[in-house]
Structure 1
Amino acid sequence: MTEIVRSPARTGSIVALLAALLALALGGLFSAVALAIGLIGVLIVALGLALARHDIVTVGSTLLFGSVVAAGLQGAPPGITLGSAVVTVVAWDSASTAIDLGAQLGREASTTRLELVHSGATAFVGTVTAGLGWALFQIPLGETSLTVPVLLLVAVICLAGMFWYRE
């Protein structure tokens, strides 16, 4: 009888790393600081996948989100910032799912369809949420728009809630 390999599932790991690289590329186009923070984040996500550790993946994803914030603060367009935030969440969620599936079913289990549907659903929900955020961003509130700070606060609360729920 062969032993089950409990490392993260392949498809989810690949999706997570591709999404993390996309977040890095989007943020890095507008800010050297975002590029540096994002690169460290991608490397830490990869390390978390290699070690099958949720906490390390979460730290790397948090750094990726920090690169999104840095790019936004340094002039990245709202669409790029929102898109980068969505793929950051996809990277974190796909990596976490890959670790869970590997631990529960083993790396060799046929989970490709499950992982792709899960990642696609995460991307869809993130895109719809980003679209709503974009729509709110377009609403003028007099001379001083409070939309951006309020949306940033909501995003931080949502991410904190996701990280807290994951533990």
Structure 2
Amino acid sequence: MTGIDRSPTRTGSALAVLAALVALAAVGAFSWIALAVGGVGVGLVLAGVALARHDAVSTGAAALFVGVLAAGVQGAPVTALLVGAVATVLAWDSAGTAIDLGAQLGRSATTVRIELVHAGGTALVGGLAAAIGWSTYQLGLGSQSLTVPVFLLVAALCLAGALAARGR
């Protein structure tokens, strides 16, 4: 009798790495710092899902988010920052889900549908938060500071993180 492989699921791992690469591509084109820090973040997310380590995934997502902030400081477009931030949250959430499902059900369990629905829900919440942030920026700020959209985005990311943590 063989044991159950408790590695992270393939679908969630692939979604996490893909989302991390999207975040890197969104902001890395506008800042060398974002490219460097985000590259480290992608590597840590990849290592986290390969080794089933939540701490590596969280550190990688934090590095990706620092890359988003660095790109913002260096003048990246708001849409690139919003895409990068949402993709960062999606990478973190998908990786955590892959690790948890692998540990609970095993890698060979059929979890594709639930992982896609979960990732779609995360992307929807993130997309709505990004749309609200972008709308606020377009309608209310004009040439003023980005403080309001940044705080709105941080609040939306905190909300998404709290909802994701509650679901585990």
TM-score computed with the length of structure 2 as normaliser? 0.90
What is the rounded CA distance, in whole Å, between the counterparts of 2:53 and 2:157 in structure 1? 19
Is residue 78 from structure 1 mapped to residue 78 from structure 2 by the alignment?
A: yes
C-alpha deviation, 1:12, in angstroms? 0.3
C-alpha deviation, 1:151, in angstroms? 2.6
Mapping of residues 32-111 of structure 1, within 5 Å? 32-111=32-111
What is the rounded CA distance, in whole Å, between the counterparts of 2:143 and 2:98 in structure 1? 44
What is the rounded CA distance, in whole Å, between the counterparts of 1:118 and 1:166 in structure 2? 13
Q: Which amino acid is 1:92 matched to?
A: W
Instruction: Please list the CA deviations of residues 124-165 of structure 1 after superposition, one character each: whole Å capped at 9, or x if unmatched.
Output: 111111000001101235x8735x2123234334545627x7
Instruction: Please list the CA deviations of residues 20-58 of structure 1 after superposition, one character each: whole Å capped at 9, or x if unmatched.
Output: 011111111101110000000000111111221111111
Q: Which amino acid is 2:149 matched to?
A: L
The count of residues paired between Structure 1 and Structure 2 equals 165
Structure 2 runs not aligned, ≥5 long: none
Residue 149 (structure 1) aligned to one of 147, 150, 155: 147
Please name the residue that 2:27 is paired with.
27
Deviates most, 1-10 or 31-40: 1-10
State whether residues 126 and 157 of structure 2, in contact with CA within 8 Å, keep that contact through their aligned partners in structure 1: no
Q: Which amino acid is 1:111 matched to?
A: T
What is the rounded CA distance, in whole Å, between the counterparts of 2:154 and 2:130 in structure 1? 14
The percentage of counterpart residues that share the same residue type is: 54
What is the rounded CA distance, in whole Å, between the counterparts of 1:79 and 1:95 in structure 2? 24
153 and 92 in structure 1: CA distance in 2 versus 1, 3 angstrom threshold: same
SS of aligned partner of 2:6: coil
What is the rounded CA distance, in whole Å, between the counterparts of 1:18 and 1:144 in structure 2? 34
What is the rounded CA distance, in whole Å, between the counterparts of 1:75 and 1:109 in structure 2? 45
Please name the residue that 1:131 is paired with.
131
C-alpha deviation, 1:64, in angstroms? 0.3
What is the rounded CA distance, in whole Å, between the counterparts of 1:35 and 1:144 in structure 2? 27
Q: Which amino acid is 1:134 matched to?
A: W
Q: Which amino acid is 2:113 matched to?
A: R
77 and 88 in structure 1: CA distance in 2 versus 1, 3 angstrom threshold: same
What is the rounded CA distance, in whole Å, between the counterparts of 2:140 and 2:64 in structure 1? 29
